[in-house]
Amino acid sequence: MHPRAGTVAQPDDLIDVDALLAAYYDRAPDLDDPAQRVVFGTSGHRGSSLDGAFNEAHIVATTQAIVEYRRSQGTDGPLFIGRDTHALSEPAFRSALEVLAANDVEVRIDARDSWTPTPAVSHAILLHNGATTADGVRTHGPGLADGIVVTPSHNPPRDGGFKYNPPHGGPADSDATKIIAARANEILAQGVGQVRRVSYEAALAAPTTRKHDYLTAYVDDLGSVLDLDAIRAAGVRIGADPLGGAAVEYWGAIGERYGLDLTVVNPTVDPRWAFMTLDWDGKIRMDCSSPNAMASLVHTMRPAAGGAAPYDIATGNDADSDRHGIVTPDAGLMNPNHFLAVAIDHLYGGARPGWRPDAAIGKTLVSSALVDRVAAGLGRRLLEVPVGFKWFVPGLLSGEVGFGGEESAGASFLRKDGTVWSTDKDGILLALLASEIQATTGKSPSQRHAELVESYGQSWYARVDAAATLEEKATLAALDPSQVRSTSLAGEEITAKLTSAPGNGAAIGGLKVTTENAWFAARPSGTENVYKIYAESFVSAEHLTQVQEEAKQVVADALG
């Protein structure tokens, strides 16, 4: 833990925006360095221009690769593009538009020439493609739209990000991103001078470039997915902190459109994020699930001496608004796993009678087992999938999955009539759901979590890292359950050894081991020589520590 974690950033912590932008245009990537090539993770390509990992050449090449990929798929409808508030997002947006216009791609840019949250792009794609019914949804073919979101999500201010959403509206799967990344790197090697481009001014003036009012379309449609009337009638006092991200204008519009008692706690947009409190490692990171990054909002919620908290519910979002953080007067910042369980219990416990009675509950396999227990208590099918929101996309489109959520504070769910709302994570939606829960139950989400604990037991959950070589990480990613020789974990019999997800059979790229009252999952890091150990115990904090320590030994034995 950094000694200044949770304190406001100092001048020495801030980026030099001019230097960052200059490097975007001036620096060329060294393709002999793997870290400077195009690499798509679960949320697109990310990196910094200062490291030669996110420069004009990367965006030109990647955009051209997307143009070629969408053509190969028969996708010839409009491409919806949005950007967040990171300093590198605007130049990357400009570079992308120059390539798209030169390739005669129909593009929909923000009508306000402003920032666009990730969920608003997903929402726009789905509306255009007619994905408002649970049957007959097309995800490939002529006339369909797709999208690009220029964002590194919650990453530090020095970073940029670029992700592709195909016609299903959600994150592109690895089949698509492998093709796009490979072609982008091929173009980089050949030289981006071959890529057709026009000037930014010409791209804006092109007949294929049209404006789209993302904000109005998204905000006006929120009543189809949330009980905003109940929030207004109950007078829930909401404090929304966009953390300097793309939702900054959306929150004010939501409050005005629906007559809510809603205050935008901090409307400041600053590409340096000088107002942020430092995260656990001393970096500025817009992680709304982090107590350190959310320290200012948590402090704001503290009641004055003898008084009440200024808000009933306070919320935070990351830079592209696909994540949520929930702060209550009685508990402060909620653990993301706790809120996922509360949200699921609320939505499936009677708040959404229009959903299919067999709509499954979607969770990633590193999310809390409290969700498993809530699902069993509700009599609902649990769909446990590998890490990555993309796994929930088919079920959300068809209505077979009502809610999909990750332990990292990302989730989305269906409209009230059981049709798809978004197929990407929606932090604004989940933040407003907290107020719906407050309004309809008279209890805060943290109070509802306490009630779930009474019913299903208290758990202790944490993630730690352990050192691993490149060879060990590769072995871990390709493990077979038979390689796990242990029969017990922290005093309990092992009940399952998983290298594929129970919900869909997809490889998890690691290992999950369960017992009656505990579990751990080990996955190699994509960026560091470590593997991540997620673990949970329904016994005690001491038992969790024992699970974590024994997990390292189980993995070591399996790796041989």
Catalytic residues: 153
Q: Is 14 exposed, middle or buried (0-12, 13-18, 19+ CB in 10 A)?
A: middle
Helix 445-456 vs helix 427-441: angle between axes, to the nearest 10 degrees? 80
Q: 253 near 275, Cβ under 8 Å?
A: no
**Alpha-carbon distance 134 to 468, whole Å?**
44
**Alpha-carbon distance 271 to 273, whole Å?**
6
DSSP letter, residue 514: E
**Alpha-carbon distance 59 to 27, whole Å?**
13
**Three-class SS state of 106:** coil
The full length of the chain comes to 560
Q: Is 270 exposed, middle or buried (0-12, 13-18, 19+ CB in 10 A)?
A: middle
Cα→Cα distances 200→90, 100, 203, 212, Å: 12, 11, 5, 18
**Alpha-carbon distance 435 to 251, whole Å?**
13
**Three-class SS state of 524:** strand
Q: 249 near 272, Cβ under 8 Å?
A: no
**Alpha-carbon distance 322 to 123, whole Å?**
12
**Alpha-carbon distance 196 to 68, whole Å?**
12
DSSP letter, residue 274: T
Cα→Cα distances 384→388, 422, 501, 506, 509, Å: 11, 19, 6, 10, 14
Q: Which amino acid is at 252?
A: G
**Alpha-carbon distance 236 to 252, whole Å?**
15
**Three-class SS state of 308:** coil
Residue with tokens 């009641």: 303
Name the residue among 551, 192, 249 with its Cα closest to residue 428. 249
Strand partners, 520: 513, 535
SS3 content of the chain, % helix, strand, coil (to 5): 40, 20, 40
Element (H, E) at 241: strand 237-241
**Alpha-carbon distance 22 to 34, whole Å?**
22
